[in-house]
Structure 1
């Protein structure tokens, strides 16, 4: 039996105006090595940092519980015996897609050990049944600069069962297999993902652009950041974001990025104004930094739900990081930083003999 090596990139969601829409995949990885050659059971061992508090119980670990869900939906009742070594270089709870990466890794693990041969689109369906928001998982799956959307969801944020394809007598083996899997899932009280829950497009992003991630040394739960958002928005604020998002999707792909065009296009009125108080120093950063006073800078935003601050830039990366960290330090926030590439390749799984 082979050893599988799964690599999933970190991601930054929203990128300013693209709340729950846009994602960037970054050169920081979750690596899962699954040795199926001699294991008698499923074991989990974490290596390196970013593992504090994570479960090594296959039933509750996010990676293995995701894998088990996918396998059970495909008629395989247990995760085959394997020794998992997990090296997570993505900081937890910092707005860099750590949970999304774990979910993607779990789907790829199930696909590998179960020989499921899932398409990337079907993998996304499984990811969305767990993660519910497409921005991080779509970017992690396919790589690059990604825009995505979900099919209509109900008021509780769940994907409605009515969106599942009807069990019409099919004319192909795939349709017959889908009916069989739905019957198995129903017997096991599982919800088999509808097909094509989410859709995505990969957009151009200039190779000159890198991401400066300034990472405060505290966690911010996504649930807390979402709770800070209003229930309704003024039309003018929604229009403000739509205008900028439309421009941003093209502006980042230009060979020679226009700093002020991108800077203005990364402004936001939907989520950052309501979350700024959760990251001391962020209001000052958003109000005072610009391409004229910060050489190399293209734009600044909260990465996902935060607290990481993401600066897109074409030069002077370390200087930009130092300037951002100095503001945070004045507000008694300790931070670290990494200069990351925007990677065009998403999650991978390689079999080694």
Structure 2
């Protein structure tokens, strides 16, 4: 009889991080509301269980980074320039770990279109926070993770939805003077160009985030509602989309949005959903009217694709900073997307679309046994 030999434990730790796409604003909820959707940024991570000790006299370990899917031709594969790994290094350095572990391997696969208003940069930031927490085995809770994310991405709607999952509302807390100063540190100091500006022998500590920068609440979401993301074939940068917004608004426009926001957060939770109520509640006067010059065909799509013309539609709005259009619906998803595509085509804009669900799980990390 041959004795069975016990299998040796793996010398490498392997885990997977999965972060969903998000749509922010949802009509009147500018910089307030976000929802997580079933397109994902996935990181497959492999790292030695016992990496060799490192001192400041040894070279910086350069992780091996590969990238497939959306944006694979434009994402930096240098871990000291890539947004996800730079955020991970920020989290590590705030917790007394000066560098990546030796032998780190990262395989990234992305389903989220870049620069289209579906939270691609927010997903990259959240993936970096989870990566830093896992590599350092820091045991950060979700609220503390959100603090780190908000030091990099100062608008909470996308990152909160990506981290927590579901349909959420969020705000930045008013902090005391010391905390406000820390949270106002320029991004260049939070994420310096590693390793050149990291200081002699990596000796400059980055600013650690204050506790409780942002707070959130999860709203209900009716199980019948799916999201149709109609994605034009061009990008709009968030910075450019913000630059066209006014610095002041009329009382009438602010009241218009507040009324609809108050109704929408409850209307989307009720089953069966009420198309008449939701369609009107998803209208906006704070950001969509000012972004029409950046997105040819936007007003025409929003006004012509309605519940009366396309049964099954509940409401329609700009997703984040655009140019993606988000249509919420209970049926006839492809018909709704096709109608929007026909309008865009008149303006010389080609589109693709995804029929998505809301994921309540948010970001996840799963370890391989």
Same fold (TM over 0.5): yes
Matched with 1:170 is: none
Contact 1:237 1:269 in 2 (8 A): yes
- Aligned runs of 1:147-158 on 2, under 5 Å? 147-152=169-174
- C-alpha separation in 1, matches of 2:182 and 2:78: 34
Please, which moves more after superposition, 127-136 or 46-55? 46-55
Q: Which of residues 82, 92, 99 in structure 2 aligns to 1:61?
A: 82
Say whether the 8 Å CA contact 2:94–2:205 is kept in structure 1: no
Structure 1 residue 41: deviation in Å? 4.3
Q: Where does residue 65 of structure 2 map in the other structure? A: 44
State the secondary structure of the residue aligned to 2:292: helix
Match of 1:131 in 2: 153
Partner deviation per Cα, 1:57-80 (whole Å, 9 max, x = no partner): 111100000000000001100011
Aligned in 2, Cα 1:153/1:273: closer, same or farther, shift over 3 Å?
farther
- Classify 1:132/1:159 alpha carbon distance in 2 versus 1 (closer, same or farther; 3 Å): farther
What's the secondary structure of 1:200's corresponding residue? strand
Counterpart of 1:168? Answer: none
Q: How many residues get paired?
A: 329
Q: Which runs of 5+ in 2 are unaligned?
A: 1-11, 52-60, 185-201
Q: Does 1:114 align with 2:125?
A: no
Per-residue deviation, 1:187: 6.4
- Alignment equivalent of 1:201, drawn from 217, 222, 230: 217
Which digits, 9 at most, give the CA deviation of each residue in 1:25-52, with x for residues without a partner? 0000000111113897411101233222
Q: What residue in structure 1 maps to residue 193 of structure 2? A: none
1:264 maps to which residue? 280
- SS across alignment from 2:96: coil
Match of 1:80 in 2: 101
Q: 2:13 aligns with which of 2, 6, 21?
A: 2
**What residue number does 1:275 align with?**
291
Verify: 1:327 aligned to 2:343, yes or no.
Answer: yes
Q: Which deviations, in whole Å up to 9, do the C-alpha atoms of 1:228-264 show, x marking residues without a partner?
A: 1001110111111011000000000001000010000
Instruction: Tell me how far 1:294 sits from its aligned partner.
Output: 1.1
Contact 2:70 2:114 in 1 (8 A): no
Q: CA deviation at 1:347?
A: 0.2
**Alpha-carbon separation, structure 2, partners of 1:204 and 1:257:** 12
* 2:300 match: 284
Taking the aligned partners of 2:85 and 2:63, their CA distance within structure 1 comes to: 9
Match of 1:141 among 163, 177, 197: 163
1:160 corresponding residue in structure 2:
180
Normalising by the residue count of structure 1, what TM-score does the alignment of the two structures yield? 0.90
CA distance in 2, matches of 1:41, 1:285: 47
Please report the TM-score for the alignment, with normalisation by the length of structure 2.
Answer: 0.86
Does the Cα contact within 8 Å between 1:21 and 1:149 map onto a contact in 2? yes
Deviation of 1:191 (Å): 1.1
SS of equivalent residue, structure 1 residue 71: helix
Partner Cα separation in structure 2 for residue 240 and residue 152 of structure 1: 25
| In 2, Cα distance between equivalents of 1:10 and 1:264 | 25
Secondary structure of the 1:224 match is: helix
Instruction: Go from structure 1 to structure 2 and tell me whether the alpha carbon gap of 1:163 and 1:85 turns closer, same or farther (over 3 Å shift).
Output: closer
Query: What are the within-5 Å matches in structure 2 for residues 170-185 of structure 1?
Result: none
In structure 2, what is the Cα distance between the partners aligned to 1:136 and 1:187? 32
- Provide Cα deviations, 1:158-188, integer angstroms capped at 9, x if missing partner: 9722779xxxxxxxxxxxxxxxxxxxxx962
Q: Distance in 1 between matches of 2:131 and 2:348?
A: 41
Residue pair 1:277, 1:283 contacting (<8 A) in 2 also: no
Contact 2:183 2:209 survives alignment (8 Å):
no
Please state how far the C-alpha of 1:351 moved relative to its aligned partner.
1.1
Structure 1 position 85, deviation (Å)? 0.3
SS at match of 1:2: strand
Aligned to 2:207: 191
Gapped runs of 5+ residues in structure 1? 165-185
Question: 3-state SS of the aligned residue for 2:353?
Answer: strand
Deviation at 1:189, TM superposition (A): 4.1
